[in-house]
Structure 1
């Protein structure tokens, strides 16, 4: 007669449960990390979208306000047009600026219409205020490009981007952008 020994394994189900809990916890941490990165990248994409929209907003304002009458006056008018929309300075001065136009050139303005110079001043002030409201550390920079056949501008929108740990190479040198400032520049021919 043979004896059959019945040996049971004890505790294996507890170990399996503990291993599965560890695996699930690691998976959940990975998902949480993915969600955090998605939110961070969504914020960056939103800021860039706002910057693009702001740059094109100013370009539309500039095109609407440029005046060309006679071909023989083109050079003088071009210089005047370029001068009224030039907006230079460092990032620090642009960011800290308080922009309030001298006159309100909207449709609800007083009976006297604004001149093209007043409209340009109004456009730049509204644009800078909009950048300050829409972008973290938002500021703008507009400079004419020399040596072009038509009025050409570089319109630069700047904002703080917390994930940027260097000086953005796309920022113009004249704006003296510090570390963490992102720049978006379009070249506009009017």
Structure 2
């Protein structure tokens, strides 16, 4: 039988995956904002449950210490973890200072859309509107600045969108949950 903490980690991973799927398909900022918050919470809970599982097992505790170190030092994992902390404990809103924002793009200039569409110059018929796409930006948590990640586990992130960051975060969480389950079977 699977340890209760590993069961909860698995459930949280499913929640993170559902949030990721919503991030990939939503068409409005409100839905995106909620899905991003859900992803951050669920992703963090996976690791909280892995820590809970490992805490009373010396050899597993050492393993989780390595996982914690990777989360602290890896750009992507640290960004996700600190964005969750800023959302949960900070005064900044996730869709403002500590989360994604939507950007409309024309074939020419890029337009920020915080409270409506701002057109720079004249829009011609040759310019095409693309649907809004969220992007990550730098935020501050506990007086430390966190820039959007450019690297993950030693590799360049070619397109660091919120969706790509969530996808890579889930892949890492899946791997660590699988390792924990294998360790549980070994005893």
Normalised by the size of structure 2, how large is the TM-score?
0.28
Normalised by the size of structure 1, how large is the TM-score?
0.27
The structure that is helix-richer by fraction is: 2
Which structure exhibits the higher relative contact order, with contacts defined as CA atoms closer than 8 Å and separated by 6 or more residues? 2
